[in-house]
Each structure stands twice: as structure tokens, then as C-alpha cells.
Amino acid sequence: MNYFLNTERDQVERLDPMMKALLPVLRHFFSALNDPPSQGWRHGYEVAIGIWGQGRGLSIAHAVQKFTYDLMRCGETALHFNDPLDIYARPLLTPDERTVLLLLSYMRADNTGKAREVIEGLHQGMIDPILVRHGLALAAMMDATPARQAVPKLRVVN
């Protein structure tokens, strides 16, 4: 199962709703890891809370933070992500962004063989079990609901 909607994968608008919602959070955490004084991690948490609400957003942001850290830790080459604050780069995907989103989509679809191929490609044939664990944890949080769900209103019952 492929979560991309079109064969042209260079534009954000062609992503499925969940991946489209997740991308800015990923970008902010990559920005924070590449430039710690940028405080990108704070933006990542704020964006996630804005999309999914406080409870779910904080959980997803924390999972994204662990996953992105593991991607950076395991990789021998730096991944290139667009600046999340650059309005001209927002609608475009870098090849590395496309690869990471593809990995997460394979994990969401429980397509182990394809996910293994992507991880091996990212890490020169090595598969890090911590990266896999954190990626699967993140993928498990990503369902078909990209936005916050309405909280039911409480009412007094007599």
C-alpha cells in the first residue's frame, strides 16, 4: 500500500492527509537537530499540538523527536530537509523527505520488506533496532485522522 496519491512525489500537496500533517513536525525536529540554537523542537511541539490537540499532539511530537534523532544518529550522511519556516520551500519535498515519508508509509502499512529496503538504503545496509522500534511506534500513532478530534461536550444528566 502506498500512501502517496500520485506518482509525482515532489510536492507536499500530493501526500495523504496524515503525511501532509506530519511533514512540518518532522522538518522542525530536523531543523532543531541540525541547528540546536534554532529552538526548532519548540516549534515542532507547537505545530503538533495545533494539528492534533495537546494530548495526541504531544505524543506524536515526542515520537517524531525520537525517530528523527535515530535517523540522524544512524546515518553516515546528513539528511536534507527543507526549512519549515521558508514559505517558498514548504510546498516542495526534498528526496530525503520523500524517503523518510515513504519509510513511515511502509511501516504504517506493515510492509516489512519495503521498509527494510528503505532503512538499508538510508544506513548503508545496516538496520538499527532502536530506529525500527521508534519508527514503528510513530507509525502506530498515525491513523487516518490527521487533525484533532472534537472533544465531546459534557452535560449534566438528571
> Could you say which DSSP state residue 98 is in?
H
| C-alpha to C-alpha distance for 142 and 67, rounded to whole angstroms | 13
Task: Locate the domains of the chain by residue range.
Answer: 15-141
Q: Cα(74)–Cα(71) distance, rounded to whole angstroms?
A: 5
Chunked mean pLDDT (size 10), the chain, 158 residues: 42 83 94 88 94 92 95 83 92 92 92 91 84 93 66 73
pTM of the model: 0.82
Q: Backbone phi, then psi, for 39, in 5-degree steps? A: 60, 30
Residue with cell string 523527505: 97
Cell of 49: 499540538
Res 140: pLDDT: 92
What is the reported pLDDT for 107? 92
Q: Report the amino acid identity of residue 114.
A: K
Given this model, what pLDDT does residue 7 score? 40
